[in-house]
Amino acid sequence: MNNLDHTFGSATSVAVTRNRVLRNTYWLLAISMIPTVLGAWMGVQFNFTFFSGSPFIGLMVFLGIAFGFFYAIEKTKNSGLGVALLLGFTFFMGLMLSRLIGHILGFANGTSLIMMAFGGTATILFVMASVATVTKRDFSGMGKWLFMGVLVILLAAVANIWLQLPALQLTISVLAIGIFSAFILYDVQRIVNGGETNYITATLSLYLSVYNIFANLLSLLGIFGGERD
């Protein structure tokens, strides 16, 4: 009887921990949107550019800063400093998004396109997170394939700096939306199954997926739905 009580108690404790991590992750993800919006707004207001004359150098510097944030967040993920660094990173990502936002706002229906992209991203997040929470199917094997997909997208994006092929850009955006949508499924299930127990790390993973889905969806909407005055 004692063994049964111990097993039941352990299972209950694990379930409570998973629910807490998932709840904290969703809350921090929601909060992280605030500095992202602030960064994007400031970038648009001050016409922020990031090595616009040299896209390749800009990409390399961006990746260096981003991975610097990743390293620092990982090192401080068990403290309040980790939250502060994560929010600082989301502000930086908002700045990086401002050029696209500014471009879209140049359309007559720019505000509507941004709201559509936001709604579409929120819908994808809700659907994928819900599926990951309730399904019995194991998605853990997707991780390596999704990582390889991100590498392919990154290499294609670097190549298109010189190629400047509209068809390749469209392909990259469509693939990015699909891959990062699948990443939400993968990451949320990791939390549900106890594979990820740190809500700061979990939030960073989900944030990157949500950010990339929004940016690429907005880009596609601008291409196909943008209306000039």
Q: Is residue 113 part of a domain?
A: yes
Q: Is residue 109 part of a domain?
A: yes
Averaged pLDDT of the chain: 91
pLDDT of 4 > 60? The answer is: no
Q: Is residue 83 part of a domain?
A: no
pLDDT of 8 > 50? The answer is: no
Total count of domains within the chain: 1
What pLDDT score was predicted for residue 49?
A: 83
Could you list the residue range(s) of the whole structural domain that residue 218 is in?
2-34+99-225
Residue-wise pLDDT tens digits, 69-91: 999 999 999 999 999 999 999 99
What pLDDT score was predicted for residue 210?
A: 98
Q: Is residue 88 part of a domain?
A: no
Q: Is residue 118 part of a domain?
A: yes
Q: Is residue 221 part of a domain?
A: yes
Q: Is residue 194 part of a domain?
A: yes
Residue-wise pLDDT tens digits, 131-177: 999 988 888 889 899 999 999 999 999 999 899 899 999 999 999 99
What pLDDT score was predicted for residue 12?
A: 67
Q: What residue type is 110 in one-letter code?
A: G
User: How far is the CA of 172 from the CAs of 7, 66, 184, 203, 224, in angstroms?
Assistant: 48, 20, 18, 24, 15
Q: Is residue 68 part of a domain?
A: no
